[in-house]
Amino acid sequence: MKNQSIVIALGGNALIREGQRGTVAEQFENIRRSLDGIVYCLREGYTLVITHGNGPQVGNLLLMAEAARNEVPQPSLGVCVADTEGAIGYMIQQSLTNRLRKEGINRCVVTVLTQVIVDKDDKAFSHPTKPIGPFFTKQEAESLRQERGWHVAGDNHRGYRRVVASPNPLEIVEESAVKTLLESGDIVIAAGGGGIPVVVREDGDLEGVDVVIDKDLASGVLARDLKASCLIMLTSVEHVFLNFRQPNEQPLSKLRREEAQKYLREGHFPPGSMGPKVQAAINFLNWGGKLAIITSIDKVREALQGSTGTVITR
């Protein structure tokens, strides 16, 4: 796989760790501590594209918007995704640039604001399931539902939240720009937070939609379009598990695509956590990718060397 491309998807704990408030200083520090695996890949000769999550950051923006809703215009969800994609890209870009200078690696790091096309007829639009933003009382939620046309739902007895659709990503609009940058030797940060969701109108124009796209599924599409050899998804655990956090939990080191699909159907990988990662791996392999790896942020080197992580192959 040397001199081939890898898409590395940074999980949320690369940015905000459990128990933290998520200040800018904390996020910079967390990113700096997450760069060892990226530097290892560069030294091994891989071409790199980095993706990342943005759920807590979008939630914070929406919380600020609600607090100031009588003072400033409300931003659309798509604009919030774009704002956070740029802000997080900046933090990764600066942190990695500084690290590369200290390592003596002369490479440019570039963030590409990425639009991702979804199907306007995706069934997910009629079944919103993804909770976002602040919590509301039942009365506040009902008022917002009537005033703004929001879908709202109860969330773990903590109150009510807005829920939005999460359609499947289809295409990366800026794919050719990412390819051009990679061919120039640059390291690219793209599809942050799953990318900015857009649909194609009948006249061919792109139009933003207030939905969210799963980061791992979008990373798989990006890896497909770039013909990457490997998709690496980094999270808080070293392996994918069967019966996770149960007395009989079982770490999985190697999985065939068919096994992964079987376990996914059986419900071993929840939709809100490991499920999208396993589905993204299966999609990538179905599209011709060679292998996908799921492991923790600090185990990239070991996973690529075959000593840890969950490797999913065709």
Highest mean pLDDT among 128-142, 241-255, 292-306: 292-306
Q: Is 309 helix (H, G, I), strand (E, B) or coil?
A: coil
For strand 310-313 and strand 250-252, is the pairing parallel, antiparallel, or unpaired? unpaired
| Average per-residue pLDDT for the chain | 93
Q: Would you identify the CATH topology of the domain 5-110+174-313?
A: Carbamate kinase (3.40.1160)
Q: Which of 11, 13, 54, 193 is catalytic?
A: 13
In the predicted model, what is the mean pLDDT of residues 265-283? 92
Residue 106 has pLDDT above 50, yes or no: yes
Residue 156 has pLDDT above 80, yes or no: no
Residue 133 has pLDDT above 60, yes or no: yes
Verify whether residue 98 is a known catalytic residue. no
pLDDT value, residue 1: 45
Verify whether residue 215 is a known catalytic residue. yes
pLDDT in tens, 173-201: 999 999 999 999 999 999 999 999 999 99
Q: Which of 59, 78, 195, 215 is catalytic?
A: 215
Helices marked H in 44-113 = 55-67, 77-103
Between residues 87 and 3, which one has the greater pLDDT? 87
Task: Return the percent helix, strand and coil in the chain, to nearest 5.
Answer: 40, 25, 35
pLDDT value, residue 11: 87
In the predicted model, what is the mean pLDDT of residues 188-217? 96
Q: Is 207 helix (H, G, I), strand (E, B) or coil?
A: strand
Handedness of CA 69, 129, 31, 38 (dihedral sign): negative
pLDDT value, residue 66: 85
Verify whether residue 130 is a known catalytic residue. yes
Domain locations in the chain as residue ranges: 5-110+174-313
DSSP for 25-36, written as a single string: HHHHHHHHTT-H
Residue 134 has pLDDT above 80, yes or no: no
Q: Which of 11, 55, 130, 194 is catalytic?
A: 130
Verify whether residue 13 is a known catalytic residue. yes
pLDDT value, residue 3: 55
Q: Is 55 helix (H, G, I), strand (E, B) or coil?
A: helix
Q: Which of 277, 283, 289, 309 is catalytic?
A: 277
* Spatial separation of the C-alpha atoms in residues 77 and 20, rounded to whole Å: 24
Buried b (16+ CB within 10 A) or exposed e, 166-180: bbbbebbbbbebbbe
pLDDT value, residue 191: 97
Residue 95 has pLDDT above 90, yes or no: yes
Residue 52 has pLDDT above 60, yes or no: yes
Query: 240 Cβ partners below 8 Å, 6+ apart?
Result: 251, 252, 255, 269, 274, 277, 278, 294, 310
Which pTM value belongs to this model? 0.92
Q: How confident is the model at residue 284 (pLDDT cuts 50, 70, 90)?
A: very high
Q: What is the 3-state secondary structure (H, E, C) of 100-121?
A: HHHHCCCCCEEECCCEEEECCC
Residue 27 near residue 15 (C-beta atoms within 8 A) = yes
Q: Which of 11, 12, 89, 220 is catalytic?
A: 12
HSE, side-chain direction, 13 A CA sphere, residue 68: 10
DSSP code, position 244: T
Verify whether residue 286 is a known catalytic residue. no
pLDDT value, residue 123: 95
Q: Among the listed ranges 155-159, 218-222, 308-312, which one has the minimum average pLDDT value?
A: 155-159
